[in-house]
Each structure stands twice: as structure tokens, then as C-alpha cells.
Structure 1
């Protein structure tokens, strides 16, 4: 048993902490904000490898997370549900490698119809936090500005702080992709849809129990976390064109967040430190989708 400090309390950081504690390590989590205030809380959180390079490792981690979420969907307290929907495909060369991770999918003239996990982030992040705490892992709100302040007090460190990981590890490959959503009252929808190549802009409709998450945007390099009314109006035009039932539904809330993107997802040991340091970040818009798979990869690295 070793002591491991996980930096970051979003969906990736908490998943890593859960896997490490489950493997017998003594774990603590340090983060500058709680999970419910992280970019994870903004996500529509439909299982899908969005805004991330779809390497073989990414698809493998997606498959691991798919299976874990499917198991969690048996417990209503987790906020995880299996929902059917459509990934619209508009290009003949579209990358469909992700379908390898989905047991039951059907390729149609419109795209790919499949059943995937839908994660209600407000419920799920609270459940995951409580599950980590129940393992005896403390979660402390603390801004880490240097690994040198942490390493003397722990056997190993896992940097899983999303976009904040760049400063801690001097990684200039990390950049934000701004995402904006608007949440409407749900008129009774259950099926979700995504349309990444919509000529008018990225479009998705994700019905949850009490609302419908509508998006979106993918503004590379934009650090603005304040919702833009003009962008919201454009989102509403696109989603209502695809799903007329959303016409007239009231706006319940709105949000914007920064997807922590990178040229490739970074899951590895980082050399050059006085103690073992591991990276787990750069997930773009696929943090939830890759969470359990990459957490398992980190747990394997820590003991190797």
C-alpha cells in the first residue's frame, strides 16, 4: 500500500481516486474546486468520444467506461441511464472507430443508431464524490501551484486537473475548447442526437429526466466561461430545426465550460521529478467517456 495524491476533483480525478483506493492505496484528493463546479458539471455527458483524437487507446478506454456505466445504470442513485439515440453522419469518411466500443449499434443512411450511457452530471458527480469519501479518501479544496509542495508528503502524485494540468507539468500542448449549452424543459423526449458536422454548427440534443441539454460550440482557444446570448440563440435555432418539439420550451439554465484538449490524451508516468508523477488529462470533450478506462490505466501504472 502506498500513499497517492490525486490533483483534480472532476470526473477524471474522482474516477482515478476511486480506482486507486479500490486497489489498496491510501489516497487523498486536492482540487481548487469541487466536482459540481468543474467543467464536468457543464457537460451534456452522453457517452461519446467528442473532441478527442480517437486512437486505439482512446477507443479501448471508452469501451471500459461503457461497460462500467452500463453496470452503474442498474442503480438509480448513480444518475446513469442507458438511452438510445442517433449519431448523425454527414461525411463518407467519418471516423466510426468508436462503434467498436458499443455492443449494439446499427449503421443507417442517417448515421449510427445505438444505445449508450447517459450520465446526469449533477446526480452522478455527487454519487461519485460520496463513493470516494466512503472509501476513506479525503477530498480537500486546495489550489496546488507546484508539485514540489505535494511530493514530500506522498509516495506518488497523479495530475488529473483538466486544463489546470498544463501549468503544473509545463505542458504547452494543452488548450481550451469552449463549449456552451442551454438547458430547456423536457417536453417528453427520451432519444438523444448528435450532429457534429451540421453545416450550421455542432448540434446535440440530450434529454435528461428534468431537462434537455442543447448545444453546442467548439471554440478552440477561447477562455471565456460566460454564456453568450448570440451563441445561445444560434444553438436554439439549430436544435429546434432538428427537433421541432423543442419549439416554445422555456430555458431552465445555461452554462459554458472549457474542455481540456490536447494533441493526444496524456496517460503516462512523467519523468524528471523527485518522486513518481503520473499524468491523466487532455480528454477534450470525452472526460466522462474515458473516465473509468483511463482511471484503470493509471491504477495499473502506479503499481507497475
Structure 2
């Protein structure tokens, strides 16, 4: 007698959520096929900075639990940073107080302390967190999936029922808006500027208390990723030169050497925001199991492994 544990699992979506979910499923013994509209290097995930820290994601309690499970994995992957793209890097969480971290993460972050005046002009915390180079990490996830027997096919779908598998996992991010359809999924536009690294080895995340404008920079070897923006319901994927100049200006206010750095690239990504992450079981019209795993806002990388483990459990794996 066949059960939902028999046969393949189809994962729709090839960003960090989809690939990580596929890896977990494949390494638990499922035969996994990923269908992705875009190649790995052109997904929204490829644009990410990407610092481990919950941002623009709800509900907070669940997101923190998923983040901590993901932290376990990233700490292990950092031991092979050249292959995985994951490093443990020190930096400043600006405008963050100790009490905001004590309730959930402080015990897991050795060396967490208040930033000194030399490290940051405002109030903030000095922390050592995973920093992920997505240009390395996404291809590594892809290869890890292949090694576990999974496959990836570049293919757009018109409906979530298209994969002819007993179980389908929906990791389509912003695409869920039309595929589910779920109009509560909306874009939060982020623009980044990549410059030649002038020698910066630590990261900083800062928010202007008066305007709410963000400034952050993440070092990835000879490149420095500068950000950023968070524009609700903005769909344009084209970089705005004025926004780019403002990003460089805000980051240079934190580290003056950024002002003269050579610009290498402009990036735009649309974060898939939702009032709450949708991570739950559903049923397709023909009775097959559908697991939703989307709506992670600006924290897809941060919660990827925790959500993948939960999605696999919901899929019966």
C-alpha cells in the first residue's frame, strides 16, 4: 500500500529557501526535483548581502526559533568557508540594545557586548555572526543537492499542481502571490551597491533614528556590499542612480574610505514579505499533499535551514 512517503517530492522555487528545503528532503531519503523559473544565480536570493539576523519577518517567536536552528548549521558550514561561502564575521548591530537579544540569542553569541565609541558612533552591539557570500553559497547548495540525488530543472509553472509528484513544496517567494494565489505576499524592494573593498573586514548595520534610513556594509573578500533600502510594494527591478548615490553616501558617513571605492555592480532584489511566514500543510485539488514555505521577507537566508527542517517534517520526511 502506497503512502505519501512514496515517490518523489517536487519543490517549486530555486532560491535559498527552495534549495535548502530540497537539500534537507534529499538527505532524508526523498527523491527531489526542483523546478525553478530562474537559474540559481539570478534568483532574488543571489542579491542578498547576506547577514544572519532576523529582518522584516514575522511571527517573531517562530522566526527566532528557525533562525537559531539555522545558526547551528551555519556555524558548522563556516568551518569550510571556502566551499560553502559561510564565514563567522564580527561587526556592529547599530541601534540594538542588549535586552533585545537577551531573550533569545545572547546565549548563542559568545563575545556579544556593547559596541565602543571607536567602533560605532551611536548605540549598538558588537557581535560575531554568520555572513554568507551568496555567489558561493547558492552554487554550493545546488551541488550538495545533486550529490544527494536531487535534480534542478529550469522551468516556470502556471500552477502548483504541475509537478507530478505525491508531495509538492511551494517555495516560490513572491511568485506565491499569483501561483497560490496569495495577494498578501508583497514586494519590499532592496537596492545594493557592490564596490571594491577598500580594506574593511567588519560589517555594520545602522538605522538613522530620525529618518529610519538604513546603511549597512558587508565585506566579502575584495568586494564590499553596501545597502540599503526597504521600499514597500515597489516592483521595479531597475537600479535607481539617485538611490545608489545615497546608499554610498550613508555608508561613507560610517566609514569614510567607502566614498572613493570603485563601484563594481548595482543590485536590486524584491523581498517576499507577508504578515506572517506561511509554513504549513495544504491539499492540492486532486488530494495530493502541498506544503507551503514562503513569505520570509528579508530573512530568507537567516531562517532557511530551520524552515527547511520544518517543511520536511510537514511533508512527512
Q: 1:21 aligns with which of 11, 23, 26?
A: 26
Shift in CA distance, 96/178, structure 1 to aligned 2, threshold 3 Å: farther
Please name the residue that 1:258 is paired with: 270
Please name the residue that 1:63 is paired with: 68
Matched, 1:277 2:284: no
Partners of 1:95 and 1:220 in 2: CA distance: 26
The superposition leaves residues 100-150 of structure 1 with CA deviations (integer Å, 9 ceiling, x where unpaired) of 574222245721211111111101111111111111111000101112322
Matched, 1:229 2:241: yes
TM (norm. structure 2) is 0.90
Partners of 2:102 and 2:235 in 1: CA distance: 30
Please name the residue that 1:87 is paired with: 93
Aligned residues of 2:96 and 2:125 also touching (Cα < 8 A): no
The superposition leaves residues 182-230 of structure 1 with CA deviations (integer Å, 9 ceiling, x where unpaired) of 0111111111011134545111111111211000000000000000000
After TM superposition, list the pairs within 5 Å mapping 1:45-194 onto structure 2.
45-53=50-58, 55-75=60-80, 76-89=82-95, 99-100=105-106, 102-104=108-110, 105-108=112-115, 110-150=123-163, 153-194=164-205
Partners of 2:232 and 2:74 in 1: CA distance: 29
After TM superposition, list the pairs within 5 Å mapping 1:27-42 onto structure 2.
27-42=32-47
Q: Secondary structure at the match of 1:136?
A: coil
Partners of 2:242 and 2:89 in 1: CA distance: 31
Q: Which runs of 4+ in 1 moved over 4 A?
A: 90-98
Aligned residues of 1:54 and 1:98 also touching (Cα < 8 A): no
Aligned residues of 1:59 and 1:100 also touching (Cα < 8 A): no
Q: Secondary structure at the match of 2:270?
A: strand
Q: Secondary structure at the match of 2:266?
A: strand
TM (norm. structure 1) is 0.94
Q: Where do 5+ consecutive residues of structure 1 fail to align?
A: none
Shift in CA distance, 171/41, structure 1 to aligned 2, threshold 3 Å: same
Q: Secondary structure at the match of 2:79?
A: coil
Partners of 1:275 and 1:58 in 2: CA distance: 28
Q: Secondary structure at the match of 1:204?
A: strand
Partners of 1:126 and 1:92 in 2: CA distance: 36
- RMSD, matched Cα: 1.9
Shift in CA distance, 222/96, structure 1 to aligned 2, threshold 3 Å: farther
Please name the residue that 1:291 is paired with: 304
Shift in CA distance, 228/94, structure 1 to aligned 2, threshold 3 Å: farther
After TM superposition, list the pairs within 5 Å mapping 1:238-253 onto structure 2.
238-253=250-265
Please name the residue that 2:118 is paired with: none
Partners of 1:237 and 1:148 in 2: CA distance: 47
Shift in CA distance, 97/262, structure 1 to aligned 2, threshold 3 Å: farther
Q: Secondary structure at the match of 1:56?
A: helix
